[in-house]
Amino acid sequence: MTRRSMTKRAALVTATAVVALGTIGTVAATAGPKHEVRPTKTQIAGLFDNWNKALQTGDSEKVADLYAKDAVLLPTVSNKVRTDHAEIVDYFDKFLQSKPVGTKIKTIVNVLDSNSAIDTGVYEFRLTDKATGKKSVVEARYTYTYEKIGGKWLIVNHHSSAMPEK
C-alpha cells in the first residue's frame, strides 16, 4: 500500500466515523426530552370557562382546586388578600352565595412559554342577592396568571377589581 492510498484510507475512515457519530448524535438528540408545545391563546382563554363552570357548581372546594397550593387571590368583593387554599375556599364560600355567572367582555392573553401564561381583561358577573333575589351586574378588571403544574393548568395569581368609573 502506498503512502497516498494509506492517507486516502485514513481520511475515508475518519469521514465515516464523523458521519457515524453525527448520526448517533442526531438520533440521541431526537430521542432525548421533547420540547413541550406552547398552548394557544384560545386554550388559555378557555381556562376561564373551566373556572366559571366550577363557580356554577356552588362548591367552593371545586373552585379553589383550580388554584395552585401557594396561589394569591386578590378578590373583587373582599378587601382581604387570600394566600392559601383555606382562605380561597373561605372567599368562595361567601361569593358563591350570590350565584355568580361570569362573562368575559375583553380578553388579552400572553402565552409566556409552554408552562405559563397570563389572561387579562374585563369581565362581568351577574349576581343574585341571597336575601332578596334581586339581580345585579358587576363589571371588573381581571388578571389570571396560570402555570402548568404536574401537567395541569392552575391559577397562581388572580386579581379582580370592580371598575372604578361606574
> Would you state the pLDDT for residue 28?
45
Do both 125 and 69 map to the same domain?
Answer: yes
Do both 107 and 83 map to the same domain?
Answer: yes
Do both 158 and 90 map to the same domain?
Answer: yes
Coil, strand or helix at 56: helix
Q: Do residues 144 and 163 touch, judged by C-beta distance below 8 A?
A: no
Do both 15 and 78 map to the same domain?
Answer: no
How many domains would you assign to the chain?
A: 2
Which residue shows C-alpha cell 375583553?
Answer: 106
Do both 18 and 49 map to the same domain?
Answer: no
Do both 28 and 95 map to the same domain?
Answer: no
Beta bridge partners of 103: 124
Q: Alpha-carbon distance 109 to 43, whole Å?
A: 10
Do both 70 and 4 map to the same domain?
Answer: no
Do both 91 and 145 map to the same domain?
Answer: yes
> Would you state the pLDDT for residue 15?
44
What is the span of the domain harbouring residue 14?
A: 1-34
> Would you state the pLDDT for residue 166?
63
Q: Do residues 145 and 74 touch, judged by C-beta distance below 8 A?
A: no
CATH code of the domain covering residue 100: 3.10.450.50
Q: Would you write out the chain's pLDDT as a tens digit for each of its 166 residues? A: 554 444 444 444 444 444 444 444 444 444 555 677 999 999 999 999 999 999 999 999 999 999 999 999 999 989 999 999 999 999 999 999 999 999 999 999 999 999 999 999 999 999 999 999 999 999 999 999 999 999 999 999 999 999 988 6
Q: Alpha-carbon distance 11 to 21, whole Å?
A: 15
> Would you state the pLDDT for residue 165?
82
Do both 24 and 49 map to the same domain?
Answer: no
